[in-house]
Amino acid sequence: MYRRAISAPCGALLLAACALFFLPHDEAHAGTVPTHTRPHTPTAGATTPFTTVEAESGKLGGGARVRSISPGVPEPTAASLETEASGYALVELKATGDSVTITNTSGKSANTLVVRASIPDAPKGGGIDASLDLYVNGVQRQAIPLSSKQAWNYRGATTNPDDPNAGGMPYRFYNEFPLWVTGAPIPAGSTITLKKDAANTAAVYDVDSVDFENVAAALKQPAGSLSVLDYGADPKFGTDSTIAIQNTVNAARTQGKSVWIPPGKYLTNSLAGTPLDFTGVKVQGAGMWYTTLYRKVPLPTPDGWRSEILVGSGTTLTDVQIDANAVWRQVRGDGGSDYGINASGAGGWLVDRIWTRHTDANWLSGTNGVIENSRTADSYGDGFNVNNSNTASPDKLGKNITVRNNFARNTGDDSFATYSDAGTGGTDPQVDGTKILNNTAIAPWWANGIRIAGGSHIQVKNNLVNSVSSNNAMDIGVFGDTGNPLLSATVSGNVLIGGGGWNGVRHGVHIGSPADTSLFPTAYTTVTLSDNVLRGSLNAGLSIDTARDHVTLTNNTIDHPAKQGIWIAAGVTGTGVFSGNTVKNLLPGQVATQNDSPTTFTVTG
């Protein structure tokens, strides 16, 4: 179960020494507002089984220093370690003896940690390996293995995205490093110290955050299930298990049984040319910390390779981790990246308690699908993307898909997205009924925290976004020039921190529609935003721009933007109904509302 909530007051700690904590929250009351939450402040984000502590909240030792950015400084024009850090702040350990000490504030002992950190690339690319020492209450406990082999890509490189000497802009600096704690668990209230000792050979260690988690025992095999071990799968990562796992699924489908994947790490690098297909079967692992399906893809990747997992009508997938050795984004490309799961089907599907790492997007289409209580990290594409798969297929409609209580960090595109593509002829059906509820998006290294791109009856409620590197905390509009219009969306109770990154003119929240209106000449972006908190944007708090928008803003709070609170750009046609909104803590010379389309965009209220 996910057991800890993120509440809005945590988001207030955005600035130079910000720290985002997951506050204790009783499992029996998940979804309620804790008593320490201030009145009228929404509780937002996923309820998780771990507690995150930001490194910059800790005690520094030696010559360690905090590096950070905050609203009001010059808007970033390139990616940096600061823009990609959660809270836009990190701790730098550069010399032997540098350290940071933080406290286990989870209220429980922790037998696992996830350290989010960055170490330098190799001079010619490809990354390096180096350890960082872990101390518990001042006593050295173990070395944490770190690597930059799946970090440091270069945007616009003339050779490949992993080449630092080909003129590209470096980004994707961080990775998460999960580890089991050696010896006794770390008691609640105890301290851990991350220290650069003589044996830690990286030139610099940039530490962003640490997750503390008390992982329960592995799940047991369900009665009546078929074990992949009986069909030849290898839990010790020695031989390929792709065919064995698929044969187990096929047998379970025929026999009307479920599939059990026991604890272990399973190699799935078969060159069969087809991905694992779980359609119509319940597949369960022993838990996301225990059962890992690992894609050790040949690099460069052969043409036609697919390593995704297909989830179709009648599928249930639970309690597994899916990881890969991919090194850059390009679905089916040379870098080894492919979707985590690819869900479709008219008959509904369920994905629960999975953890995808170093994959491309979790690609979510079909009808009546649910993904919940899951995590994604260090992805090369979107975290969770609801869509119509760019087709008119009845199995890929994107109808009534629910994404709730999930956690995404360091995604390589939108952390959470729903998009409706009409196709070049405008005939692909409209995505309808998407629900993005109570999710958390932390530090995507590319694109937006949440993106709403077309559709009807879209609900985006009670989510938390913190520290977007390149784009907006939330983007609301249409998918390019071939997107279906956004006919109706309700956006409420979200806490959106930061945004306004280096990728052109970006903001806390952006609302817009295509400048090219040829496909849908009379369509407007229509959206209602209520009871949201927009805090600490590195540009305008909320921007409305080209070309046609109908916007209702009610009881929103825009706090401490770097520029305007609300900015209606030139060239906008439409209406705004504004009531009960608060813009506060403006910087000198900035205004609460600036309407540069006064004759074509009418604001009332």
Q: Is the pLDDT of residue 179 over 90?
A: yes
In sequence order, what DSSP letters do the residues of 74-117 get, joined into one string? PPP-S--TTTTSGGGEEEEE-STT-EEEEE--SSS-BSEEEEEE
Mean pLDDT of 340-368: 97
- Residue 130 counted as domain residue: yes
Q: Is the pLDDT of residue 210 over 60?
A: yes
Q: Is the pLDDT of residue 546 over 70?
A: yes
Which residues have C-beta within 8 Å of that of residue 476, sequence separation ≥ 6?
A: 451, 452, 486, 489, 491, 509, 510, 511, 512, 525, 527
Q: Do 198 and 314 reside in the same domain of the chain?
A: no
Count of structural domains within the chain: 2
Q: Is the pLDDT of residue 17 over 80?
A: no
What percent of the chain clears pLDDT 90, i.e. is strictly above it? 84
Q: What is the dihedral of CA 595, 598, 601, 602, to 10 degrees?
A: 100
pLDDT value of position 481: 84
In what helix (H) or strand (E) does residue 267 lie, and over which residues does it extend? strand 264-267
**Of 185, 213, 241, which residue constitutes the final position of a domain?**
213
CATH number of the structural domain spanning residue 360: 2.160.20.10
- Residue 225 counted as domain residue: no
Mean pLDDT of 321-347: 91
Q: Is the pLDDT of residue 566 over 80?
A: yes
Q: Do 441 and 358 reside in the same domain of the chain?
A: yes
pLDDT value of position 514: 86
Q: What DSSP state is assigned to residue 162?
A: T
Q: Answer whether 0.85 is exceeded by the pTM.
A: yes
Distance between CA atoms of residues 91 and 490, nearest Å: 38
Phi, psi of 48 (to 5 degrees): -120, 160
- Cβ atoms 414, 472 nearer than 8 A: no
Q: Do 332 and 463 reside in the same domain of the chain?
A: yes
- Residue 562 counted as domain residue: yes
pLDDT value of position 304: 74
Q: Do 473 and 572 reside in the same domain of the chain?
A: yes
- Residue 148 counted as domain residue: yes
**Of 177, 194, 213, which residue constitutes the final position of a domain?**
213
Q: Do 198 and 329 reside in the same domain of the chain?
A: no
Q: Do 150 and 285 reside in the same domain of the chain?
A: no
Mean pLDDT of 367-396: 96
Q: Do 432 and 562 reside in the same domain of the chain?
A: yes
- Residue 352 counted as domain residue: yes
Q: Do 133 and 207 reside in the same domain of the chain?
A: yes
Q: Is the pLDDT of residue 526 over 60?
A: yes
Core vs surface per residue 556-565: b (16+ CB within 10 A) or e: bbbbbbbbbb
- Residue 407 counted as domain residue: yes
Look up tokens 């771990």; give the residue: 50
pLDDT value of position 270: 66
Q: Do 312 and 394 reside in the same domain of the chain?
A: yes
What pairing do the DSSP bridges indicate for beta strands 153-155 and 169-171? antiparallel
Could you report the per-residue pLDDT of 429-438, keeping only the tens digit for each? Answer: 999 999 999 9
Distance between CA atoms of residues 361 and 344, nearest Å: 14
- Residue 256 counted as domain residue: no
Domain that holds residue 433: 279-604
Q: Do 62 and 197 reside in the same domain of the chain?
A: yes
Q: Tell me the pLDDT band of 298, cut-offs 50, 70 and 90.
A: confident
CATH number of the structural domain spanning residue 167: 2.60.120.260
- Cβ atoms 187, 176 nearer than 8 A: no
Give me the chain's average pLDDT, please: 92
Q: Do 355 and 463 reside in the same domain of the chain?
A: yes
Angle (CA) 384-21-473 rounded to 5° is 40
- Residue 247 counted as domain residue: no
Could you report the per-residue pLDDT of 577-595, keeping only the tens digit for each? Answer: 999 999 999 999 999 999 9
Mean pLDDT of 538-565: 97
**Of 213, 234, 253, which residue constitutes the final position of a domain?**
213
pLDDT value of position 34: 28
